[in-house]
């Protein structure tokens, strides 16, 4: 019985249209970045699931805190809900660009247009952003670049 379930699960994964999933995710990431940059809270919240969660690693929190004078995102370890996430990010992602991370579109903070120092990895479901991971651990970013998991701009 377990083997049969595992076989069915593998078949469902093979049957998915991964190109369409990647294209939808990319569209959502591009729209999210545009809305976050514009500072139009209504537009940003419309892209977020009501129960969206933003999780930030310690390095992302420290980086954002060091840049508060430059209107950096207001990060804490966990922010939940579209209003709170929208408030933390709206109008605060100026130097960000779209990159590919693990085969999907992601948002990178590109310091001085020279170096990726943070990533925002968005998970999309049913046309809404359901989860955001803010990562700025230098070892993680360096490893992702070295292994090809993260594309340079």
- The token pair at 90 is 């709206």
pLDDT at 91: 82
Q: Where are the alpha helices (DSSP H) in 39-137?
A: 41-47, 58-66, 82-89
- Read off the pLDDT of each residue in 25-50 and give the average, rounded to a whole number: 92
pLDDT at 4: 63
Q: Is the pLDDT of residue 121 over 80?
A: yes
Which residue is associated with the tokens 């992602």?
A: 93
- The token pair at 110 is 């590109």
């Amino acid at each position: 019985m377990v083997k049969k379930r595992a076989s069915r699960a593998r078949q469902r994964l093979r049957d998915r249209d991964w190109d369409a999933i990647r294209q939808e995710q990319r569209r959502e990431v591009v729209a999210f970045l545009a809305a976050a940059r514009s500072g139009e809270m209504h537009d940003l919240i419309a892209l977020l699931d009501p129960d969206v969660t933003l999780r930030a690693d310690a390095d992302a929190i420290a980086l954002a805190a060091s840049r508060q004078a430059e209107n950096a995102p207001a990060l804490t370890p966990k922010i939940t809900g579209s209003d709170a996430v929208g408030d933390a990010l709206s109008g605060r992602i100026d130097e960000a660009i779209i990159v590919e991370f693990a085969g999907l579109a992601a948002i990178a903070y590109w310091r001085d247009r020279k170096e990726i120092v943070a990533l925002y990895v968005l998970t999309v479901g049913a046309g809404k952003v359901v989860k955001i991971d803010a990562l700025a651990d230098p070892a993680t970013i360096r490893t992702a670049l070295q292994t090809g998991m993260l594309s340079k701009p």
